[in-house]
């Protein structure tokens, strides 16, 4: 399955009065298109911080993303963020984090184009995530207006004169006595023909006029409003297109310059077995237009060596590099090097060439700056903003009603105008899911979405997520403590402990044969009707000890103080996340080749 998200070496740390706390320490994750990956572990192991780091929602300071790469759809989301927060050492106490406001502002602006549209997140507590003073409909519509405004403008521009179906809907709204049914008809008519709902309701209530006269006024209203609406819609559509092109060029430039570590990993046989047989990589030189690869000559290839030990590149080597990229297309490296257009033989290096972006002409740059300035000026004037943005908001309203119905909220039209405190916990969580789906994301992160809900509501939310997965075909990163939920919902599961991934496996394989001792302990702690019989009064099975203090984690394997299979090497050397069997990874010395004679029963 082709990955859509690739996380490599992610490190997130927080500054405290006692020192640096590394909540996430070298996490590697892959999520395929349409796949559900579950993350489980005890409280404090770094699950939520991992999700917030992927979304770039860590509060900086006291936190900061200290290292790693997050590749999403060919873009490195951490590229250009190296200067967001600087670390200043101090003679006593922990170092001081100094945020760079200009760098943070630019990086957050770039991420705003990814969050919501590319990836979204459902948070743990809906009541603390929803704004208590704004109506439900407005909060969901805000996401649609920000992320899908070009689509809304296209719908405004596509509206034509009234059709016979529009007239029939208007007649039904006039003769219908049921208020709820009339509201539904008005919303449908507004969405179809691009009217403001309040104007339609005013004409419906004009009882002194006949039905035919009201239809004639509706047609006049359509003619007057659409001319102004279309001009503003064209303005916004052009502005969004220019801004999208500007941000895409900036993302591509920064991502290409950050490919150095990815190239080193690509040619490392330990991280990419396909690279076996190729000469070792000496250095890389990432540039905006190409990535230069310099190889080191093996000791037995002296005749091909340049001064300094560099290898003279040949056509055979170029072909081998091109073949390596082709074979790596379906895996994580395919996401990182998706922008490579060709492999070219240079005098001293192999060059991975990127396609040249069309130049952002000076006229287009000036047009973008002028439109952006005018737009921001109009937003400062409340009356002007209300008049200009109302057609866009009316178009978004129809989308919101459809979303609320999609997440199985009854009486969606009524809920649109309600406040968060008027809904139950389950309904609030459904609204959060609707907000996450508003931008039609390719990846949705669900951070314990059933927390604090009763069992019946939990089952409904889980069933909803399963149903939505089939409908929208989006990948889901699901964070939970509940292994039963993982078994029901996920395709793969990653087990976290003390800021690290200790096991990554397909769900069926993990439940059938857990490899890591920590995973074994988690499964043994589950008591059910199929569990081994416990003697009356005997304690329930648990994992001995407590979660380690991440300010001062244990040496070697972080689980060794609680592991019944620990031996001397576990206390001295940190295990790597390796693949003892296909499709499975585990970070445990019991499965290293050097400890093949030691196996957990």
Calculate the CA 504 to chain-centre distance: 19
Res 593: pLDDT: 57
Res 595: pLDDT: 36
Q: Give the H/E segment covering residue 584.
A: none
For range 548-572, the mean pLDDT = 88
CA distance 549 to 241: 49
How does DSSP assign 524-582, residue by residue?
Answer: HT---TTSPPPPTTPPPP--SS-PPPTTSPPSSSTTGGG-TT--HHHHHSPPP-B-SST
Share of the chain above pLDDT 90, in %: 9
Res 227: pLDDT: 61
For 88, the 3-state DSSP assignment is strand
β-bridge mates for residue 353, sequence order: 290, 342
CA distance 23 to 26: 10
Res 244: pLDDT: 84
Tell whether the model's pLDDT for residue 164 goes beyond 90. no
307: how many CB neighbours lie within 10 A of its CB? 5
Two tokens at 294? 């310099």
For 341, the 3-state DSSP assignment is coil
Rounded to the nearest integer, the mean pLDDT of the chain is 82
Report residue 85: phi and psi, to 5°: -135, 125
CA distance 464 to 228: 41
In the structure, what pLDDT confidence band is assigned to residue 599 with cuts at 50, 70 and 90? very low
Tell whether the model's pLDDT for residue 187 goes beyond 90. no
71 to 77, 98, 128, 255, 490: CA distances (angstroms): 6, 26, 30, 9, 22
Q: Which of 13-17, 131-135, 144-148, 534-538 has the lowest mean pLDDT?
A: 534-538
Range of 69-78, 100-109, 305-314 with top mean pLDDT: 69-78
Res 477: pLDDT: 92
**Tokens 């521009």 correspond to what residue?**
157
CA distance 557 to 536: 36
Report residue 264: phi and psi, to 5°: -60, -45
Two tokens at 331? 């895996």
> What strand order describes the sheet that includes 281-286?
281-286, 290-295, 350-353, 342-345
In the structure, what pLDDT confidence band is assigned to residue 51 with cuts at 50, 70 and 90? very high
Tell whether the model's pLDDT for residue 534 goes beyond 70. no
Tell whether the model's pLDDT for residue 531 goes beyond 60. no
389 to 31, 127, 393, 440, 533: CA distances (angstroms): 38, 28, 6, 22, 65
Two tokens at 35? 């796949």
Two tokens at 431? 């609204």
In the structure, what pLDDT confidence band is assigned to residue 529 with cuts at 50, 70 and 90? low
Q: What is the pLDDT of residues 272-323, one digit of tens each?
A: 888 888 888 888 888 888 888 888 876 655 444 554 557 788 888 888 888 8
Nearest Cα to 583, choosing from 331, 349, 405, 355?
331
How does DSSP assign 360-406, residue by residue?
Answer: --HHHHHHHHHHHHHHHHHHTSHHHHHHHHHHHHHHHHHHHHHHHHH
CA atoms within 13 A on the CB side of 313: 21
Spans of all domains in the chain: 3-133+419-490, 136-253+363-396, 260-336, 495-595
In the structure, what pLDDT confidence band is assigned to residue 371 with cuts at 50, 70 and 90? confident
534: how many CB neighbours lie within 10 A of its CB? 11
For range 126-139, the mean pLDDT = 88
For range 182-195, the mean pLDDT = 72
Give 590's DSSP letter.
G
Residues whose CB is less than 8 angstroms from the CB of residue 380 and which lie 6 or more positions away in sequence, other chains included: none
Res 99: pLDDT: 78
Tell whether the model's pLDDT for residue 410 goes beyond 50. yes
Look up the CATH superfamily of 3-133+419-490.
P-loop containing nucleotide triphosphate hydrolases (3.40.50.300)
Alpha helices in 194-309 (DSSP H): 197-204, 211-257, 260-266
Q: Which of 76-90, 130-144, 279-293, 577-591 has the lowest mean pLDDT?
A: 76-90
Residues whose CB is less than 8 angstroms from the CB of residue 578 and which lie 6 or more positions away in sequence, other chains included: 585, 586, 587, 591, 592
Tell whether the model's pLDDT for residue 242 goes beyond 70. yes
Give 433's DSSP letter.
H
Pairing label, strands 350-353, 63-72: unpaired
Tell whether the model's pLDDT for residue 264 goes beyond 70. yes
Tell whether the model's pLDDT for residue 598 goes beyond 50. no
Tell whether the model's pLDDT for residue 19 goes beyond 70. yes
Residues whose CB is less than 8 angstroms from the CB of residue 484 and which lie 6 or more positions away in sequence, other chains included: 526
Q: What is the pLDDT of residues 149-162, one digit of tens each?
A: 888 888 777 766 66
Report residue 244: phi and psi, to 5°: -65, -45
Q: What is the pLDDT of residues 320-363, one digit of tens each?
A: 888 888 888 888 888 888 888 888 888 888 888 888 766 666 67
Res 479: pLDDT: 92
């Amino acid at each position: 399955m082709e990955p859509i998200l690739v996380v490599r070496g992610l490190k997130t740390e927080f500054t405290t009065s006692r020192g640096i706390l590394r909540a996430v320490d070298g996490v590697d994750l892959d999520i395929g298109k349409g796949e559900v990956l579950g993350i489980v572990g005890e409280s404090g192991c770094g699950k939520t911080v991992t999700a917030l780091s992927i979304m770039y929602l860590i509060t900086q300071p006291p936190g900061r993303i200290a290292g790693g790469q997050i590749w999403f759809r060919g873009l490195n989301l951490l590229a250009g963020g190296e200067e967001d927060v600087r670390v200043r050492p101090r003679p006593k106490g922990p170092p001081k984090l100094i945020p760079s406001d200009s760098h943070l502002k630019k990086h957050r602006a770039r991420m705003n184009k990814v969050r919501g549209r590319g990836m979204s997140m459902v948070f743990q507590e809906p009541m603390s995530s929803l704004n208590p003073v704004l109506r439900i409909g407005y909060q969901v519509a805000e996401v649609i207006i920000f992320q899908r405004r070009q689509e809304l403008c296209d719908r405004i521009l596509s509206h034509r004169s009234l059709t016979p179906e529009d007239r029939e809907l208007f007649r039904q709204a006039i003769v219908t006595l049921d208020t709820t049914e009339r509201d539904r008809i008005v919303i449908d008519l507004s969405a179809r023909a691009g009217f403001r709902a309040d104007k339609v309701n005013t004409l419906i209530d004009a009882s002194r006029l006949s039905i035919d006269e009201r239809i004639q006024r509706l047609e006049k209203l359509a003619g007057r409003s659409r001319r102004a609406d279309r001009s503003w819609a064209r303005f916004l559509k052009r502005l969004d297109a220019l801004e999208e092109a500007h941000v895409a060029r900036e993302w591509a430039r920064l991502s290409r310059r950050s490919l150095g570590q990815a190239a080193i990993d690509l040619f490392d046989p330990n991280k990419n077995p396909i690279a076996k047989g190729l000469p070792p990589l000496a250095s890389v030189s990432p540039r905006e237009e190409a990535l230069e690869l310099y190889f080191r000559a093996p000791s037995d290839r002296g005749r091909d060596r340049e001064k300094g030990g560099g290898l003279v590149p040949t056509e055979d080597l170029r072909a081998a590099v091109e073949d390596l990229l082709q074979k790596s297309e379906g895996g994580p490296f395919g996401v990182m090097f998706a922008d490579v257009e060709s492999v070219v033989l240079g005098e001293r290096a192999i060059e991975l060439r990127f396609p040249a972006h069309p130049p952002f002409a000076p006229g287009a740059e000036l047009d973008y700056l002028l439109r952006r300035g005018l737009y921001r000026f109009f937003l400062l004037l409340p009356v002007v903003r209300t008049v200009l943005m109302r057609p866009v908001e009316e178009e978004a309203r129809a989308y919101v009603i459809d979303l609320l119905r999609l997440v199985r909220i009854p009486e969606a039209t009524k809920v649109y105008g309600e406040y968060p405190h008027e809904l139950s916990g389950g309904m609030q969580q459904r609204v959060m899911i609707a907000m996450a789906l508003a931008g039609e994301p390719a990846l949705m992160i669900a951070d314990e979405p059933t927390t604090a809900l009763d069992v019946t509501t939990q089952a409904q939310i889980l069933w909803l997520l399963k149903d939505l997965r089939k409908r929208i075909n989006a990948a889901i990163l699901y964070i939970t403590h509940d292994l039963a939920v993982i078994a029901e919902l996920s395709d793969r599961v990653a087990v976290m402990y003390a800021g690290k991934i200790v096991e990554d496996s397909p769900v069926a394989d993990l439940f059938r044969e857990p490899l890591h001792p920590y995973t074994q302990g988690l499964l043994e702690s589950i008591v059910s009707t199929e569990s081994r019989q416990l003697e009356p009064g005997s304690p329930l099975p648990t994992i001995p000890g407590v979660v380690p203090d991440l300010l001062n984690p244990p040496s070697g394997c972080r689980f060794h103080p609680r592991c019944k299979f620990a031996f001397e090497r576990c206390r001295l050397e940190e295990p790597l996340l390796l693949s003892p069997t296909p499709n499975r990874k585990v970070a445990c010395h019991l499965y290293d080749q050097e400890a093949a004679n030691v196996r957990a029963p």
